[in-house]
Amino acid sequence: MATQVQLDTLCINTIRTLSMDAIQQANSGHPGTPMAMAPVVYCLWQRFLRFDPAHPIWPNRDRFVLSAGHASMLLYSLLHLCGVKAVNPKYEVLGELSVKLDDIKRFRQLDSQCPGHNVRSLSPPLPRPRRPGRSDVSPPVTGRVGQ
């Protein structure tokens, strides 16, 4: 039977591996931030954030805002591995994952649900500026205002 430390290490390494593989597949970007920040983000999501992956629009949930574009794959990995459910534009929870493995396989590709810098996404916890490339409002501010 695995100890808690072994289980935590396996989870962190799974986040790292999924992030590295997606970045390598895209042949674009670099895995430095996901590799370095995986333990920190894992600890936050496991021990501190209050959220329910089955109910991503729960009003009392904690919001995780990540503004570093280099860490976008880290966030996609977490959303996928935690099983966060998708939400439609009317904020109705759908029965499917917000970030599917096939979406991750298309990371940084044209029309992907997982762009390299979280400019837009259908995943509920992600910041959503009104139009790609908008520079007058930063993604974290937009994410907070939108909540």
In DSSP notation, 48-68 reads: I----TT-TT-TT--------
pLDDT at 122: 45
pLDDT at 119: 55
pLDDT at 25: 92
Instruction: Answer yes or no: is pLDDT of 124 > 80.
Output: no
Mean pLDDT of 122-129: 42
Counts of helices then strands in the chain (DSSP H, E): 5, 2
pLDDT at 110: 85
Instruction: Answer yes or no: is pLDDT of 131 > 50.
Output: no
Neighbours of 17 (CB within 10 A): 15
Residues contacting residue 93 through CB under 8 Å, at least 6 positions apart? 54, 55, 56, 57, 85, 86, 87
DSSP state for residue 147 in the 8-state scheme: -
* Structure tokens given for 47: 């021990």
Q: Where are the beta strands (DSSP E) in the chain?
A: 85-87, 93-97
Predicted confidence band of residue 128 (pLDDT cuts 50, 70, 90): very low
pLDDT tens digits for range 41-100: 999 999 999 999 999 998 999 988 877 677 889 999 999 999 999 998 888 999 899 999
Instruction: Answer yes or no: is pLDDT of 147 > 60.
Output: no
Q: From CA 131, how far away is CA 128, in angstroms rounded?
A: 8
pLDDT at 30: 84
Looking at the DSSP assignment, which residues form a beta bridge with residue 87? 93
pLDDT at 114: 87
pLDDT tens digits for range 1-42: 779 999 999 999 999 999 999 999 999 888 899 999 999 999
